[in-house]
């Protein structure tokens, strides 16, 4: 059994829709249990307990959303050295920029999480093609978590 945690922040629903697609992709794999949470509500225990984490953020001013940064800020010291090599997947929705991905990738590196795929960038609400890509991301994360 692999536990997948999908965390996200979303004001107008684009990243929430993307998070649901990632979760659907992960759930499709037998032996996975998926929890989807707003980043502001996700806890240190959620991060420690999962076998793989997907992190979704909108691009707000070329940086991750404050809610996602808050998650990283709260969980860094309590999980330091305990999440090394934990598989992670990143997805970012944006209005045409997308530079926020750099900030998430950099912090995941500091946590020593292991990215299992390139960050998926989505312009605003995921269309059919992007939804399939996000589902694939979730599936890849679940596969990596099952192998862990």
Ligand X SMILES: Cc1cc2nc3c(=O)[nH]c(=O)nc-3n(C[C@H](O)[C@H](O)[C@H](O)COP(=O)(O)O)c2cc1C
**Shortest separation between residue 35's beta carbon and ligand X, angstroms:** 19
By CB under 6 A, tell whether 12 contacts ligand X: yes
Distance CA(109)–CA(105), nearest Å, equals 6
By CB under 6 A, tell whether 105 contacts ligand X: no
Let me know: does 74 contact 46? Beta carbons within 8 Å.
no
Distance CA(64)–CA(99), nearest Å, equals 9
Q: Which range touches ligand X (CB under 6 A), out of 9-17, 26-34, 78-86, 138-146?
A: 9-17
Choice from 33, 38, 44, 60 touching ligand X (CB under 6 A): 60
The strand ranges marked E within the chain are 2-8, 32-38, 52-58, 87-94, 114-115, 120-123
Choice from 45, 97, 127, 148 touching ligand X (CB under 6 A): 97
Choice from 3, 70, 114, 124 touching ligand X (CB under 6 A): 124
The token pair that represents 52 in the structure block: 């793989």
Choice from 2, 4, 5, 10 touching ligand X (CB under 6 A): 10
Distance CA(40)–CA(74), nearest Å, equals 10
Chain residues in the site for ligand X (CB under 6 A)? 10-16, 58-62, 93-98, 124
């Amino acid at each position: 059994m692999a536990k997948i945690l999908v965390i996200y922040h979303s004001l107008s629903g684009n990243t929430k829709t993307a998070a649901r697609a990632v979760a659907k992709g992960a759930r499709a794999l037998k032996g996975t249990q998926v929890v989807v949470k707003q980043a502001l509500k996700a806890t240190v225990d959620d991060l420690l307990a999962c076998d793989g984490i997907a992190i979704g953020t909108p691009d707000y001013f070329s940086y991750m959303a404050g809610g996602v940064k808050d998650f990283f800020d709260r969980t860094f010291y309590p999980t330091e050295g305990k999440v090394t090599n934990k598989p992670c997947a990143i997805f970012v929705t944006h209005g045409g920029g997308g530079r926020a991905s750099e900030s998430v990738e950099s912090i995941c590196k500091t946590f020593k999480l292991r990215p299992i795929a390139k960050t998926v960038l989505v312009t605003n609400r995921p269309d059919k093609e992007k939804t399939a890509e996000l589902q694939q991301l979730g599936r890849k994360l679940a596969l990596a978590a099952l192998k862990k």
